[in-house]
């Protein structure tokens, strides 16, 4: 039985539950010999998130050359932890927390994607 439609997260749902359900979904597929490559797993996870994660998804997708499932899961759980610690409810507060996190990550050249030679604005 295909449960792909059931992995869509509702607004206000618990992120940890979403990730757990998604991992269960991947394991179910693996048990019936369906292989999904890592990049597709990442895209499926990101697409299962609600629209409130739009800027977060765009940042992850376009901010890196390759995404691993573990990296995305870690970023999502970090964001969830920040939201819970600071009680971020409004969209503006969430976007601010994302911007703070972005400043801390490794800077890449937008042209060649190499680390370290980007001018600060």
Q: What is the mean pLDDT of each run of 10 residues along the chain (121 residues)?
A: 59 78 88 88 84 79 74 77 57 53 58 62 45
Angle, CA of 86, 61 and 29, to the nearest 5° = 95
State how many domains the chain has: 1
* CA 22 centroid distance within chain: 12
The answer to whether the CB of 94 falls within 8 A of the CB of 83 is yes
Task: Answer yes or no: is 43 within a domain.
Answer: yes
Q: Is this prediction's pTM over 0.85?
A: no
- The pLDDT of residue 44: 86
3-state secondary structure of 118: coil
Task: Answer yes or no: is 109 within a domain.
Answer: no
What length does the chain have?
A: 121
Q: Six-digit token pair at 68?
A: 């691993």
Task: Answer yes or no: is 119 within a domain.
Answer: no
Place of tokens 């765009």: 58
Which domain covers residue 60, as residue numbers?
Answer: 4-104
């Amino acid at each position: 039985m295909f449960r792909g439609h059931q992995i869509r997260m509702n607004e206000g749902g618990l992120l940890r539950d979403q990730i757990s359900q998604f991992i269960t979904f991947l394991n179910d597929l693996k048990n019936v010999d369906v292989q999904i490559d890592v990049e597709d797993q990442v895209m499926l996870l990101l697409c299962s998130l609600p629209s409130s994660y739009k800027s977060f998804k765009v940042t992850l997708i376009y901010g890196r050359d390759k995404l691993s499932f573990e990296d995305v899961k870690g970023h999502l759980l970090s964001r969830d932890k920040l939201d819970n610690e600071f009680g971020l409810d409004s969209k503006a507060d969430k976007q601010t927390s994302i911007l703070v996190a972005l400043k801390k990550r490794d800077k890449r050249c937008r042209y060649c994607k190499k680390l370290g030679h980007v001018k600060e604005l």
